[in-house]
Chains A and B, each alone.
Chain A
Amino acid sequence: MTVASPNDFQDSLQPQGWLRYFSFSLDHKVIGIQYLVTGFIFYFIGGALAGVIRAELASPISDFVSRETYNEVLTLHGTVMIFLWIVPVVNGGFGNYLIPFYVGARDMAFPRLNAVAFWMIPPAGILLIGSYFITGAAQSGWTAYPPLSITTPALGQVVWIVSVLLLGGSSIFGGINFIATVLKLRRPGLKLMQLPMYCWAMLGTSILVVLSTPVLAGTLLLLSFDIVAHTGFFNPALGGNVVVYQHLFWFYSHPAVYIMVLPAFGLVSEILPIHARKPLFGYTTMVYSIMAIVVLGLVVWAHHMFTSGTPPWMRLFFTIATSFIAVPTGIKFFNWLATLWGGKLALNSAMLFSCAFIVNFVFGGITGVALAQVPFDIHVHDTYFVVGHFHYIVYGGTVFVIFASIYHWYPKFTGRMLNEDLGRLHFLLTFVGFNLCFAPQHWLGLNGMPRRVAEYDPSFTTLNQISSVGALLMAISSLPFLYNVLVSAFRGQVAGDNPWNALTPEWLTSSPPPVENWVGAAPLVEHPYGYGVDEDTLSLEAATGRDLWSGTGRR
């Protein structure tokens, strides 16, 4: 078995120290941090765009930006948040940093491909944001439905397509890399069913990425032909079919939701047992439910098209398939609740964000099951109800987990702790702001406010203003976070190698870890969640980490 080591490739030209974060580094930890920092930069850009949207919607008339600009802003907001923030951060960022540790490898399977995958992101992002200033950005929403995307200004739309193709390519490279790493680079003796849950989440996610992203790429290529070469794949004036585009688009873009939430499920499965001091409840069912979500996630796409040109049998089939995704998802949530039950919960920022994730995601999941029902969806499709629903899933779900993960793994990244008081302030502001922003949107949608509008019925003004205040709170909440992250890197309390007293392999080395992850052989961690006291077991204080992870002295 050959393990690619960064040392094989390193020569004297490779920068060291902080400069390596700006280089074509092959170290998975450097690439992980590169993904994370780049992702956060785009998060703040996307957040500023959301600020423009909420400022416009603070009054019922179109008065803050022009109508064309508003459509550009909402298109950029969706594209940036999905393709440049959540997907790269929960997959590329944490995946690159953690997966090699979890499988006991010294790097990813294809380090060079890994670096290429990351370095496709900054040009794609610059292209996308730059299109607003140079050519005018795309105006057809992140879904880019034809014929609107064919009739709006062509240059901005083509730049959008090129940028999404680059990001999709980056995502596919990453997916191939994760599958190869999890399946092929496991330390000898480490069995699949001993892997930490995040590995399973990333394996499932990467299968979805590799199966569905090429479909999006092909679809967008055809769309660009329609725009540039005036072909007629999706142009009804030339005999094309606009609904075919929707099928192809959602064949990727519904699995994309799972590409955004499955890694979050994995991350939260790592965080909860450590801060609850209990084993992860129901490991085996958790694994099977991830794989069930992967399979079901591929056959539910048409629930985005219940009011489109969809025949009745298709509406029925996709209702039932979509409803059944609630079962494996529910299993995961009950298992997390059981993990908390009877534990010794440390109420730190990582735990608070994780528990808020459970609350928010359950809310979004319940509205999701409702939306899966055709008769329900026919009323609220394309309204603010849907906007509220998916922000509860992707923000209340995944972004809350990203914050929990930053508080949890920051000591590993930097060797220093984040300030807990600032962390709890950040949590409080985010949780209140988030719910204030998105909860009222459900009522707005039920009562007649469609999505993607710059103007609305004046009777909806008050709730929209409450929602905008919530958005402002969310913006303010990022200030203590930014201050905390920047200042703690230099002045934070020194963490030590394993501040959480954790058993998963990334903590069984120094913080921050050495280039090849471990001095000496990688440890064999057969019980990554072996917390907890049985009647006749040794106490944690009395044991060394090595006793615990090697299984000696355990039972």
Chain B
Amino acid sequence: MPIPSSLVTLLVGMALVLSGLWVGYNVNLLPLDASVNAPVYDSLFRVLFSIGTILFLGIVGLVVFSLVRFRRRAGDHTDGLAIEGNLLLEIVWTAIPAIVVLFVGIYSYDIYERMGGMSSLNDHSAMHRMPAMETMEASVSTAGAGADPMAGTALKAPRVWGGIGTGGGETNVLPVEVTAMQFAFIFHYPEGDITSGELHVPNGRPVELRMKANDVIHAFWVPQFRLKQDVIPGQPTVLTFTPTKAGSYPIICAELCGPYHGGMRSTVVVHEPDAYDAWLRKNSPVTATVASAPSTPTA
């Protein structure tokens, strides 16, 4: 008895979905996840990878099957069947991709919100509420406003043009000012007045990078944090992340910035909190003089 084609289709479809899910959840293409939003990103990646695998295997399978099953046999000069279309099929394969991309869009919006992307620096909505604008903009940089060289007066805090902010809900944020130039990143810590070529941050504490560029556009990228933000001359941007794993990770410039673009790299060192405090004390010109005598035994 021949197997009905609907049953074959169902079985092939189930096998496809299962293999797509298996690939999505078992093939790891990503580097170490070392920030709070990296596992969130990875779950989005797994979903996209699964859906993509199902679609790709299905379509390649159809192409290969057609090429083998429907190939022209030698000596056969006849035509195929004169099928010019099928409205039901057209509706099905319009609706299914539409539902899939709608789902993917809503899901990635949710992921983006969990990463903090939607919450901060609402400069667009701020424009519609003119009186509130200055306070909102100022709130982005309240924590380090005193040390911000670009904030001449408290009211004229620079507008933040892009990036992922803290959303204002975080306390205990570590502000770091980032200056990008050809071909280096300079990190300045308002807390201890430290200037460094490497980024040192404590594990588990939110870090807010306030970034500006001196010459051309650069981009700050840490693959292990799954975060990137352009550093744009004339337009300050922010990037917030919370590291979760101690270690050293590369900082990479991702925007073509001149001949030595490929060499424009640095390192972010994630310390355990007490090791970070030790690093801060060791390098800070302010605390080094004040706190050196009493704290030497424990440091």
| Residue pair A281, B262 in contact (C-beta under 8 Å) | no
**Secondary structure type dominating chain B contacts:** mixed
Q: Which of A308, A347, A529 contacts B71 (CB 8 A)?
A: A347
Q: A93: CB under 8 A from chain B? A: no
- Interface residue tally for chain A (C-beta within 8 Å): 102
Q: A480: CB under 8 A from chain B? A: no
| Residue pair B227, A540 in contact (C-beta under 8 Å) | no
Which residue of chain A has its CB nearest to the CB of B91? A285
Min CB distance B62 to A, Å, is 5
Interface positions, chain A 285-336, Cβ under 8 Å from B, are: 285, 307-316, 319-320, 323-324, 326-327, 330-331, 333-335
Min CB distance A120 to B, Å, is 28
Cβ–Cβ < 8 Å partners of B228 in chain A: 307, 378-379, 381-382
Q: Which of B108, B124, B253 counts the most chain A CB atoms within 10 A?
A: B108
| Residue pair B232, A308 in contact (C-beta under 8 Å) | yes
Q: A419: CB under 8 A from chain B? A: no
Cβ–Cβ < 8 Å partners of A170 in chain B: none
Q: Which of B82, B105, B123 contacts A278 (CB 8 A)?
A: B82
Digitize B107-128: 1 where CB-to-A-CB distance is under 8 Å, 0 elsewhere. Answer: 0110110010110111111000
Interface positions, chain B 119-163, Cβ under 8 Å from A, are: 120-125, 161-162
Cβ–Cβ < 8 Å partners of B85 in chain A: 281-285
A242 in contact with B79 given A283-B85, A373-B105 (CB within 8 Å): no
Min CB distance B106 to A, Å, is 9
Q: B76: CB under 8 A from chain A? A: yes
Q: Which of A333, A382, A446 contacts B31 (CB 8 A)?
A: A446
Cβ–Cβ < 8 Å partners of A370 in chain B: 48, 52
Bound: A141/B216 CA distance, A: 14
Q: A45: CB under 8 A from chain B? A: no
Interface positions, chain B 57-93, Cβ under 8 Å from A, are: 59-60, 62-63, 66-67, 70-72, 76-86, 89-90, 93
Which residue of chain A has its CB nearest to the CB of B233? A236
| Residue pair B262, A532 in contact (C-beta under 8 Å) | no
Bound: A315/B221 CA distance, A: 18
A369 in contact with B101 given A310-B162, A343-B80, A537-B82 (CB within 8 Å): yes
| Residue pair B63, A366 in contact (C-beta under 8 Å) | no
A326 in contact with B101 given A236-B233, A334-B93 (CB within 8 Å): yes
| Residue pair A331, B90 in contact (C-beta under 8 Å) | yes
Q: B198: CB under 8 A from chain A? A: no
Which residue of chain A has its CB nearest to the CB of B31? A447
A278 in contact with B217 given A309-B161, A340-B66, A379-B41 (CB within 8 Å): no
Q: Show 27 A/B contacts (Cβ-Cβ < 8 Å), sorted by A.
A: A62-B263, A236-B232, A279-B84, A281-B85, A311-B123, A312-B117, A312-B121, A327-B94, A330-B97, A331-B93, A341-B66, A344-B70, A362-B59, A373-B48, A375-B44, A376-B41, A376-B44, A376-B48, A378-B228, A379-B223, A379-B228, A442-B29, A450-B262, A451-B254, A454-B262, A534-B82, A537-B82
Closest 9 CB pairs of A and B: A532-B82, A236-B234, A453-B262, A343-B80, A309-B161, A67-B259, A373-B108, A448-B223, A278-B80
Q: B residues touching A (Cβ–Cβ < 8 Å)?
A: 29-31, 40-41, 44-45, 48, 51-52, 55-56, 59-60, 62-63, 66-67, 70-72, 76-86, 89-90, 93-94, 97-98, 101-102, 104-105, 108-109, 111-112, 115, 117-118, 120-125, 161-162, 164, 215-217, 219, 221, 223, 226-230, 232-235, 237, 250, 252-263
18 additional A-B residue pairs with CB within 8 Å, beyond A316-B112, A337-B63, A376-B108? A67-B260, A139-B258, A281-B83, A283-B84, A311-B121, A314-B124, A316-B109, A323-B102, A331-B97, A337-B62, A343-B66, A344-B70, A344-B76, A375-B40, A457-B250, A529-B84, A530-B82, A531-B82
